[in-house]
Amino acid sequence: MIEKKESTKQFSERLKTLVPSGSGRDFAKRAGIGYSTVHNYLQAISSPTLENLVLLARAGNVSVEWLATGKASLVPNAQAHALSVPFIDNSTKKLIVDSELLSTPDAASLVALSVDNDTMYPTLNYGSVLVIDTKYKELKDNKLVVLFQSNNYLLKRVQVKLDGVYLLSDNNVYPSIFVDRNASM
């Protein structure tokens, strides 16, 4: 039998998969539970009451049984077209996505990324989760690109010009980056 402390820790890990980094307050509000209470669950300080367990499962769109025990289906009445997409910076954390919402049936090239800055605000908010298809490598005008630089993921909008490419932020506080056509990337 699992000890209570270990059970609380396992519950906390399952709950963390439902709450994107930095969005605990939003999740708590959606669940109708105080943020400090949800914070205690996320930090494995306490376990939820049965009533709060149901509210958390509804807010996370998962089954109560999965959230409580880790068994059964993650998604209530899971359908065959649900995809598990790993986060690019934490492959043990998964995003469950309905494949019918995606333009590609190939989940192998997909990764998820939590937005952790405001460079693309107002298009993308802090805490938003993106699904990225890594098989596309070519820069196309007015498309978003994710670059990995200095241990950071940079989200930029592409603007193709004759002499090179500008990488733009939708938030005008951040300067554009020019990449000469002859430069190697």
Q: Read off the pLDDT of residues 6-34 as tens digits, 9 standing for 90 and up.
A: 888 999 999 998 887 778 888 999 899 99
Q: Would the pLDDT of 1 be above 50?
A: no
Domain hosting 9: range is 4-69
Question: Model confidence at 83, in pLDDT bands (50, 70, 90)?
Answer: confident
CATH code (residue 49): 1.10.260.40
Query: Which residues, other chains included, contact 74 with Cβ-Cβ below 8 Å and sequence gap of 6+?
Result: 62, 63, 66, 96
Q: How far apart are CA 165 and CA 182, in angstroms?
A: 10
- From 69, 104, 126, the end of a domain falls on 69
Q: 77-102 in b/e burial notation, b at 16+ Cβ within 10 A?
A: eeeeeebebebbeeeebebbbebeeb
- pLDDT at position 184 is 64
- From 17, 43, 69, the end of a domain falls on 69
Q: Is residue 74 part of a domain?
A: no
* Same-domain status, 95 and 165: yes
Q: 154-169 in b/e burial notation, b at 16+ Cβ within 10 A?
A: bbbbbbeeeeebebbb
- pLDDT at position 174 is 95
* Same-domain status, 96 and 133: yes
159 against 109, higher pLDDT: 159
Element (H or E) spanning 36, and its range? Answer: helix 35-42
| Contact status, residue 107 vs residue 134, Cβ threshold 8 Å | no
- pLDDT at position 175 is 95
* Same-domain status, 115 and 168: yes
* Same-domain status, 150 and 89: yes
Q: What is the largest CA-CA distance in the chain?
A: 66
CB-neighbour burial class of residue 28 (10 A; exposed 0-12, middle 13-18, buried 19+) = buried
* Same-domain status, 103 and 124: yes
- From 15, 45, 69, the end of a domain falls on 69
Look at the chain and report how many structural domains it folds into: 2
Q: Is residue 77 part of a domain?
A: no
* Same-domain status, 91 and 174: yes
Q: Is residue 105 part of a domain?
A: yes
Q: How far apart are CA 53 and CA 184, in angstroms?
A: 52
* Same-domain status, 95 and 157: yes
Region 92-115: what's the mean pLDDT?
81
* Residue 24 three-state SS: helix
Q: How far apart are CA 107 and CA 96, in angstroms?
A: 11
Q: Would the pLDDT of 87 be above 70?
A: yes
Q: What residue has token string 């940079």?
A: 154
Neighbours of 11 (CB within 10 A): 22
